[in-house]
């Protein structure tokens, strides 16, 4: 149970027992849903709405800003996460939160977690076309691990050597949901989508030469996939793909079936 929910339960029990007045409880609840820390309004109600606390997008923020937001989130939720974080961001966070962990390839900082008990019956398979796609793949991996998903990886199986992908057919078909990450012409999700019966989340990356237009070519190719059951997130959005994949397996777990 998140720390903030335990705190709320304690407040309600104290009011019921007569140990705390309603007015005193209201003072403690001031800023419960949103906390103004000057340069940001931290959304503390997001955990209850979405199943994960507010995640900090570190790019464009100073190390001190990221550290203060993560500290505020962790104080209420018991865990926190930041994406697109640098080593400088991490150093500032670790000063306030010594238990913080940096995932350098995925550029993610996590504090605490997993948020939910991992469901061993369901697995998210992370498929990356090339080694250059790993930063986006590992952003998805860190997100899924933070949420509490069982993950497996299939790396460097792009279409230029498609035999590598076909040799892993058993792994492909055993996953509950697949996150497929590719740059260049973005063909890998379509190929995978034609091989499996499970949901495929396609992630275009900005990897490629000039005519890839920073990932736009891969994005358009994935949106125009002829394989049914392929959904597409934005360019380089490993975080969004990870959250979506987790929601699919969470729904499968809640229904007691297979997605």
HEC secondary structure over the chain: CCHHHHHHHHHHHHHHHCCCCHHHHHHHHCCCCEEECCCCEEECCHHHHHCCCCCEECCCCCHHHHHHHHHHHHHHHCCEEEECCCHHHHHHHHHHCCCCEEECCCCEEEECCCCCCCCCCCEEEEEECCHHHHHHHHHHHHHHHHHCCEEEEEECCCHHHHHHHHCCHHHHHHCCEEEEEECCCCCHHHHHHCCCCCCEEEEECCCCCHHHHHHHHHHHHHHCCCCCCEEECCCCCHHHHHHHHHHHHHHHHHHCCCC
Domains in the chain, CATH or no CATH each: 17-111 (no CATH), 123-255 (3.40.50.1970)
pLDDT of residue 11: 76
What percent of the chain shows pLDDT beyond 70? Answer: 93
Cα 211 → chain centroid: 29
Over residues 136-183, the pLDDT tens digits come to 999 999 999 999 999 999 999 999 999 999 999 999 999 999 999 999
Percentage of the chain exceeding pLDDT 90: 71
Please report the pLDDT score of residue 44 as a whole number: 83
- Provide the sign of the torsion angle of the four alpha carbons 64, 133, 220, 201, taken in this order: negative
Is a pLDDT exceeding 70 seen at residue 130? yes
pLDDT band at 83 (very low <50, low <70, confident <90, very high): very high
Q: What is the mean pLDDT of residues 110-116?
A: 91
pTM score, whole prediction: 0.85
Query: Which of 26-40, 104-118, 151-165, 231-245 is predicted with the least confidence, judged by mean pLDDT?
Result: 26-40
Q: For the segment 9-27, what is each residue's pLDDT rounded down to a tens digit?
A: 887 888 888 888 887 776 6
Q: Which residue has the tokens 């209201």?
A: 26
Across residues 237-243, what is the average pLDDT?
97
The span from the CA of 250 to the CA of 256, in Å, is 10
φ, ψ of residue 211 to 5 degrees: the values are -75, 0
Is the pLDDT assigned to residue 232 strictly greater than 90? yes
Q: What is the pLDDT of residue 31?
A: 55
> Which is higher by pLDDT, 238 or 50?
238
> Tokens 């497929």 — which residue?
180
Structure tokens at 16: 């019921």
Token readout for 30 is 């001031």
Q: If you average pLDDT over each of 8-22, 29-43, 86-100, which comes out highest? A: 86-100
Residue 127 has pLDDT above 70, yes or no: yes
Burial code (b: 16+ CB inside 10 Å, e: under 16) for 210-234 equals: eebebbebbbebbeebebeebbbbe
Q: Bridge partners of 18?
A: none
- Average pLDDT of the chain is 90
pLDDT band, residue 241 (cuts 50/70/90): very high
- The C-alpha atoms of residue 154 and residue 165 are separated, in whole angstroms, by 9
Determine the pLDDT at residue 218.
97
Question: Is the pLDDT higher at 146 or at 5?
Answer: 146
Residue 4 confidence class, pLDDT cut points 50, 70, 90: low
């Amino acid at each position: 149970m998140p720390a903030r929910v335990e705190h709320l339960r304690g407040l309600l029990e104290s009011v019921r027992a007569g140990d705390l007045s309603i007015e005193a409880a209201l003072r403690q609840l001031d800023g419960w849903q949103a906390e103004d820390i000057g340069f940001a309004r931290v959304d503390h109600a997001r955990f209850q709405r979405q199943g994960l606390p507010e995640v900090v997008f570190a790019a464009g923020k100073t190390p001190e800003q990221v550290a203060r937001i993560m500290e505020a989130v962790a104080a209420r939720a018991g865990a926190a996460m930041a994406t697109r974080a640098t080593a400088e961001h991490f150093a500032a966070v670790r000063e306030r939160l010594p238990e913080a962990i940096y995932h350098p390839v995925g550029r993610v900082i996590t504090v605490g977690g997993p948020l939910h008990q991992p469901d061993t019956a369901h697995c998210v398979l992370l498929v990356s076309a090339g080694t250059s796609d790993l930063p986006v793949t590992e952003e998805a991996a860190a997100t899924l691990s933070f949420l509490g998903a069982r993950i497996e990886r299939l790396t460097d199986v792009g279409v230029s050597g498609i035999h590598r992908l076909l040799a892993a057919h058993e792994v492909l078909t055993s996953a509950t949901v697949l996150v497929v990450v590719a740059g260049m012409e973005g063909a890998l999700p379509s190929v995978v989508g034609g091989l499996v019966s499970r949901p495929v989340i396609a992630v275009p990356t900005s990897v490629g030469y000039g005519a890839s237009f920073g990932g736009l070519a891969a994005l358009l190719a994935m949106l125009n996939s002829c394989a049914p059951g392929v959904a597409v997130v934005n360019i380089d959005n490993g975080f969004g793909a990870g959250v979506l994949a987790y929601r699919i397996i969470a729904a499968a777990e809640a229904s007691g079936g297979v997605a």
